[in-house]
Structures are given as structure tokens and as C-alpha cells.
Amino acid sequence: MDSTFFNPEEAYSRSEIEALQLERLQSTVRHCMNSAFYKARFEKSGIRPDDIRTLDDLYKIPFTTKQDLRDTYPFGIASVPLKDCTRLHSSSGTTGNPTVILHTARDLDQWANAVARCLWMVGCRPDDIFQNTSGYGMFTGGLGFQYGAEKLGMLTVPAAAGNTLRQLKFFKDFRTTVVHAIPSYASRLYEMMCEQGIDPRRDLALRTLVIGAEPHSEDTRKRIEEMLGVKAYNSFGMSEMCGPGVAFECREQNGLHIWEDYYIVEIVDPETLEPVPEGEVGELVLTTINREAMPLLRYRTRDLTRILPGECACGRHHKRLDRMKGRSDDMIILKGVNIFPIQIEQVLMQFEELATDYLITLETAEDNDIMTVEVEVSERFISDDYTAFQNLDREITRRLRDEILITPKVKLVPFNSIPKSEGKAVRVKDLRKQY
């Protein structure tokens, strides 16, 4: 059954895509009236599902935000009864209520199909062996790729995160050909191969690498490809949109096709919320049109990107997103984990030994992204007791790790040593290489 496309929708022309989008948008909006949240919101803004007659009528619908997901925690946006749902994914929820996404069996099947389509697009076939180094559990990069790779028919190894030596053993013993890893972990794998005397070109069968969840530059991609002797493809997803499988690079490696039979894409100015001119950077707004349990209408992703103008040589007419350019809020993405500075602030504020100023620095050191948190020791706590400083350092590190799931480097500094900025405090310095 070998062919270029996994699904016929991939080959649709613009007019076919848009016809399907309108049909699916209309049915999604009607279906959303089963959601207490959307029903109330439509009534409040004075619109009815019948008002959606063209794709442009989408603009009549109010935006949905992450705050809406928090406010309706856990099940308030659902458009089906819970008995019809078969899976739940949730964010860690450390900045307030977690965001919960529900799935029906059909949703999960469609999600797996989208991921399988992405993997097929970059040349994965049933005779490939797919090893997933993503964390499993609530992190959607685990189960998302698992089900997608299985759907395609690959032998799928749920190796999960960590234990690099064991990952390498599996590469060798199972003759793994496709790997999913975050970019910083791909570099880590290579370091470990060098230490172990493994030459990936000579000793391994790796051919394709799927990298996502972490912003990275074209240079980083090229370096990883060169190191491991693979082709590396950029993957984009987010838990609110299921997870991976939202947009993916084709073999042209020039922009990520977003599956427009699943999503309607808008790029808006984050201040005015008006659409930006084609090709300009703005906030990505997505409407799910192929989801039952919990459709989201005009969801503000906070990711900044643009639509690449022009046609793609691969023959797909689904629009292409450029690499993510950053965030319209202050969220930090480190090693694939989403972190808000407020989480760090909340932990630091529990320590009476500390003054109120802090500075988060993100840097790339030996291919690893690291976070340093500088904190000011308050005047009252300054002492001659070195052990007390060490204990304080250790305790702050431990509590931060419990909160953000990443171990930062904590740096104690004397009070008044962090420069005070005028106006809005600069709490985060991002010196990482990728942008």
C-alpha cells in the first residue's frame, strides 16, 4: 500500500480543504452547544450555530483561553458526557488549576491517525522500528507517539525518558530506525555514544529522528543530523490540541504542515486580536474541527509563529507554520517542560531567608539547556555559618525541582545584588542558542 499519502485528505486542494473545514466547523459548533461553557458563551455573545455560514463567520466566535480551561476545571468545557470519554490528559497545573483535556475513543483514534500521517510523511513504514524516548504518563509525547507509531504499523518501543545507556542498548539490539527525542536529549544520546565508542553510522541503523517539544534552530537541527547520521524532522503539538500530530515537517524540511482537516489556523496580533497580514508573525489560534469530547473554538495557544507563504514542493496544500518564534506570555519551555516564572516565584516566596528579587537565566552549556535561579539572601539571614548557606541552597533546589520537575542551579547572592530594572522587572534572561 505504499504511497506518498497516508490519508486522502493530505492531497486535498485548497478548495477541497476549505469545503471540508466549513462542514466540520458547522458541525463542531452545533456539537459545542452540548458544552455548558460554550452554550453560555454563545448566548452571551448573541450568536447561534446557524450564524456560521462561511469560514469567515469563525471571527464571530469569541476566543477560548487557557484561563477558560482553568476556570472550568476539570470537565466544564466537555461537549459529551463523561461516560463517553475514554482518556484524560492533564497539565501539571502548578500555576493554578491544571488544564484537563478529555478524549473519546474516536478522538484517540483520530489523534493516532494524525501522528501516523506525520510519521508516514517523513518516510516511516511498517518495517521501521520506532523508539520513543519521551516521558509517558500525562506527558502527551509518550502515548501520543506510541499510538501513532502503532497505527502506522511500526514495531514500537516505549523506552520512555532517561536511562541513556539502556536506550543505546535498544538501538543496537533492536536495530531501531526511528527515534523520537527532544533536541537536547538527541545531543545527550550522541555524547553517550562517543563515550561508549559507538559510531552511529557504522554501528546503528538510525535513519530518522523526530524532534519536538523544545524550540530549536536550523543550525541545531543540522548539527544533530550530522552527529547521528539521520534526517531530523520538527514536530509541533500541545496538550490542548491532543499533543503531537498538530503540525509536522515534510521531507522538504521547510515549515510544518498543519493538518487543516483537524484544525482551522489563524494568526492574530496578540494585542489587538485582529488577523495579521499573511506571512507575518503573530499568535497561533487554533479551532479543533475533528474532536468530539472537548472541541476548542479559537483557542489562543500563546505560541508566536507565522504561516509560510507559497506552495510546498511536497504537493500538500495544508498550510505550513514557521518554527515557533517564542511566546506571547512569559512561559518558558525547557527540556520540553512548560514553566511559568510565577511557579518559581511562589516557591522562593516561601523562604523567609530570601529577599524578594530573583533572576532566572536560561543557557546552553555543552548542548544542554540549563536554568540558573539567582536568589538574594535577605539581610537578616546573612551569617558566618557556611553550612547554613549550603543547606538553604539545597532546600531551595529541592523544592524548585518538586515544583517544576527540572533541577535548576540555585545561586545564592547577597541582598541588593540583582540589578533592579525600571518598570516591569526582568525576571527571565534567555541566553539559549536556538533563537
Positions in the binding site for another protein (CB under 8 A): 377, 379, 382-386, 389-390, 393, 411-417
Burial of residue 260 (number of CB atoms within 10 Å: 0-12, 13-18, 19+): buried
Q: Which is nearer to another protein, 121 or 412 (CB)?
A: 412
Do the Cβ atoms of 321 and 238 come closer than 8 Å? no
Rounded to a whole number of angstroms, the minimum distance from the CB of residue 356 to another protein is: 16
Q: Which is nearer to another protein, 241 or 410 (CB)?
A: 410
Torsion on CA atoms 14, 15, 21, 26, rounded to nearest 10: 160
| 3-class secondary structure, 9 | helix
Q: Which is nearer to another protein, 5 or 415 (CB)?
A: 415
Pairing relationship of beta strands 100-104 and 129-132 according to DSSP bridges: unpaired
Rounded to a whole number of angstroms, the minimum distance from the CB of residue 419 to another protein is: 12
Peptide bond into 419 cis (omega under 30): no
The three three-digit cell numbers of residue 317, written as one number: 496544500
Rounded to a whole number of angstroms, the minimum distance from the CB of residue 370 to another protein is: 13
Q: Which is nearer to another protein, 45 or 356 (CB)?
A: 356
Q: Which is nearer to another protein, 252 or 385 (CB)?
A: 385
Rounded to a whole number of angstroms, the minimum distance from the CB of residue 289 to another protein is: 51
Rounded to a whole number of angstroms, the minimum distance from the CB of residue 386 to another protein is: 5
In Å, how far from its chain's centre is CA 223?
22
Rounded to a whole number of angstroms, the minimum distance from the CB of residue 382 to another protein is: 4
Q: Which is nearer to another protein, 125 or 411 (CB)?
A: 411
Do the Cβ atoms of 224 and 285 come closer than 8 Å? no
Rounded to a whole number of angstroms, the minimum distance from the CB of residue 427 to another protein is: 18
Give the angle subtended at the CA of 197 by the CAs of 196 and 199, to the nearest 5°: 120
Distance CA 43, CA 61 (A): 11
Q: Which is nearer to another protein, 54 or 407 (CB)?
A: 407
Pairing relationship of beta strands 178-181 and 208-212 according to DSSP bridges: parallel
- 3-state per-residue secondary structure call for 296-323: CCCEEEEEEECECCCCCCCCCCCCEECC
